[in-house]
Chain A
Amino acid sequence: MYALEMKSITKEFPGVRALDRVTFSVKKGEIHALCGENGAGKSTLMKVLSGVYPDGTFTGDIIVNGRKQRFKSIKDSEKAGIAIIYQELALVKEMTVGENIFLGNEPKTFGVIDWDTLYLEARKWLKSVGLEINPETKVKNLGIGQQQLVEIVKALSKNSDIIILDEPTAALTEAEVSLLMEMLRQLRKRGVTCIYISHKLNEVMSLADSVTVLRDGKTVATHPIGELTEEKIISLMVGRTLTELFPYEPKQRGEKVLEVKNFSVYSPYQNKQVVRDVSFSLHQGEILGIAGLMGAGRTELFTSIFGAYEGKKQGEIRIDGRPVTIKNPRDAIESGIAYVSEDRKKYGLVLDMSVRKNATLAALDKLIRNGVIDEAAEVSTVNRFIEKLKVKTPGLEATVNNLSGGNQQKVVLSKWLMNEPKILILDEPTRGIDVGAKYEIYKLINELVRQGMAVVMISSELPEVLGMSDRILVMAEGRIVGELTHEDATQEKVMMYATGGGASGKTEAVLSI
């Protein structure tokens, strides 16, 4: 029995056929993973399913629990028991957990909200999925992972029996990921059907019952998980086999380019130190990995170095041996630093602007002749990067908002590479990027490093840090607590440092956030 069948779905945007006669069937009560490269059409398919693109803007049939459905809006699909959870959270931060769960759905007597019932119900729902959160805490006080779980509870409270998660774990720590997976397994026991989109194939392997792979808007195959391996999924996704995931190469370490001494950063909100007395150096021709749990102060440290953090800072920064003062990103860029932010929508892109304009935003000075933007040079530069990074876009003038998540990330990368920085800081550089493209980006980073660039790679994906870095610094609670070489580093060692010593279990330390 299928909970859901999508038959011959075709969806076109101006200039792109995002979905081309896609067929997608999900059995009742299973966790069904949807895989595919960036721009393969995964998010679009789910938006079709959840009524974001209403009936009539696509062709094909949607059959839910044996009944053919025509969704005119998200409300319709919710009524049919479908809930979608986006990567960007849709919770009201200033409201409590309970209020959020029942937003628009509040229990009322004579039109007045019955708060006691609301919180009682909220507590019941939270408990039923094993979440120990007080429904009266404000959402803004929760970690991103817990917020994600609250979203799921919200979906459940609407009696949804098909839940869609579009890259739910992209921004989560490992501990939060395992919490989420545990919850999904419980839901499966209760007969809830779940569609799970992720680029992290290890999660897919351990969680899913079946996998459907999309490529270029077409269904490639659906297989039960038993017939698949990670390698098999990759080859279905990219249409060829990929032998190694991390093209590590030993490099010639050069001069010291960046030296940071006794560096401390204070939070702009409370009088709290978020980075404590950190010292390290970065050499030409090396990739320096920065590992640590979320909240370890990694982003604060490097946004401060880049001059973009709002809190106060203290300490010394030397570039090529000379002390520098960096008061704002402009200064940093002029000293040869580039910073690729972990949050592309907030800090990386002007969503309503074209691909071309976004890509040149940080390097526009180089394209200005006699005060006028040289559009010919602009177009050819952007084209070069689009080809190099294999950005999938209908054209340079396409609005960046219309690109798939992974392709947006590639635009952000182009923007910073265009500046030809000496020091490239990458904060979660491959978040939301598919395996094939990741590999291309790693190779590109290697090439840049070979040419003498120094790269800092902050990443919560341990395999990535371990696989690509020449040297790894581990941060915890604002301090650098360990340094490992490529040869020495293992997941266990990094986790041991990150969780503050002894603990071998990865989860306990963070579960009590």
Chain B
Amino acid sequence: MEKQKLSFRFDIRAYTLVIALIFIAVLFTVLTDGGFLTSRNLSNLFRQMSVISILAIGMTLVIVAAQIDLSVGSIVGLTGGIAAILQVWYDWGTVPAVLVAILAGAAIGLLQGWLVAYKAVPAFIVTLGGMMVWRGVLLGVSKGETVAPLHESFVQIGQSYLPYVWGYVLAAIMCAAIFYGTARRRQKRARLQLPLNSAASDYGKAFAYAVILMGFTYMMNRYYGIPIPMLIVLVLGLVFLFISTKTGFGRYLYAIGGNPEAARFSGINIKAHMLSVFVMMGALAGVAGVVLTGRLNAATVGAGQSFELDAIAACVIGGTSLAGGTGSIVGSIIGALVMVSLDNGMSMMNVQPFWQYIVKGSILVFAVWLDIATKNKS
């Protein structure tokens, strides 16, 4: 009984976020005479959010470990540029070009992580420097030119869609997985004699997720199908959700962010974990760079500029604390959705760009204030 109350309390935050999202969606739908909620626009919106979401996934880990990475925007630009240059200038195939781009991202992460973890240079400084350095490197290697066009197969990474049938098959498999997972979790909790939510509420939740999933697939299929970048986000999101909640590595990141001294005394190798986090962030930024280049069918010098701020904002809106130790992948992805919905909705309404900045900035501060205010209440 007590347990139920507790878990409900913890979820309230996630619900506020979802409620805010619904509110934004309804608001824009009304203001755009339904334009916001069309399949076409939603499909666009999800493609737009993919790059920021991928960055936000990595950034969540970084921030949970009480670090920061300001260089990801520049890494996105540089890795996207590397892939494009290899393909356009040196005629590499898509697969090797993509792999090299991701490895380049990981290598940059390795260097930065090494400086942070083993040389004790604050992450803020290392990655602020990185932000300038990698942008400079991009400018140098691309000689300031826009590199285009890419092969059809590369462009597909950012622009193509999953065929209708596959979309439904995938959705059906995921629905089955949700129900199976719920049933298994209930069995396990019953075996351990842990307090159980009522069957109605557990399966009701699973049913709600299934409906959302199917609705989403239907909406996407009414346009061209589920966008591939969205699928990439989904897969990466699931992988990192698993890493952050089910593995020792993930658990240790939260401990390190929450209290590094206690983590050290518990025998956790803080430096190695820190290094890995930056490597993961770098590799994810590489993936984001590839997706962005594919979507734009070009690599430009300015690609990815200020994406780091969007990614950090997404995490913060999603409930990740910059002090470290708390945060979730799902929250951050929803945070990214909020940010991108605002962009998208306001663009549709032809709101002037200066207003867009003002609104997004205000919402960021408002979200954190709300979070703090509700936390103090309870």
Interface residues of A (CB under 8 A from B): 14-16, 306, 308, 328-330, 332-334, 339, 341, 346-353, 357, 361-362, 364-365, 368, 371-373, 375-376, 379-380, 394-395, 397-398, 415
Contacts and interface: CB of A to CB of B under 8 A. Distances in A.
Closest 7 CB pairs of A and B: A15-B2, A350-B258, A333-B267, A362-B266, A330-B267, A350-B259, A361-B266
B162 to A, nearest CB: 29
Given A348-B262, A395-B6, A330 B192 contact: no
A353 B3 contact: no
A357 B251 contact: yes
B262 A361 contact: yes
Contact of B255 (A333, A347, A361): A361
Given A350-B262, A361-B262, A332 B188 contact: no
A211 B170 CA distance: 68
A350 B192 contact: no
B325 A352 contact: yes
Contact of B262 (A306, A349, A372, A398): A349
Contacts of A306: 265
Contacts of A352: 258, 325-326
A351 B6 contact: no
Nearest to A395: B3
B154 interface: no
B265 A348 contact: yes
Given A15-B5, A329-B267, A352-B325, A376 B262 contact: no
A334 B246 CA distance: 23
A35 to B, nearest CB: 27
A354 to B, nearest CB: 10
Contacts of A351: 258-259
B5 A14 contact: yes
Contacts of B252: 364
A306 to B, nearest CB: 8
Contacts of A308: 264-265
Contacts of A375: 188
Given A334-B267, A339-B265, 4 more contacts: A332-B267, A333-B267, A350-B325, A352-B326
B194 interface: yes
Nearest to A361: B266
A364 B251 contact: yes
Contacts of B259: 346, 349-351
A330 B269 contact: yes
Contacts of A395: 2-3, 6
A376 to B, nearest CB: 6
A339 B255 CA distance: 18
B253 to A, nearest CB: 11
Contact of A329 (B9, B191, B246, B264): B264
Given A350-B255, A368-B248, A394-B6, A376 B267 contact: no
A371 B188 CA distance: 19
B274 to A, nearest CB: 14
Given A350-B262, A397-B6, A371 B247 contact: yes
A314 B177 CA distance: 57
A399 to B, nearest CB: 9
Given A329-B265, A376-B188, A353 B254 contact: yes
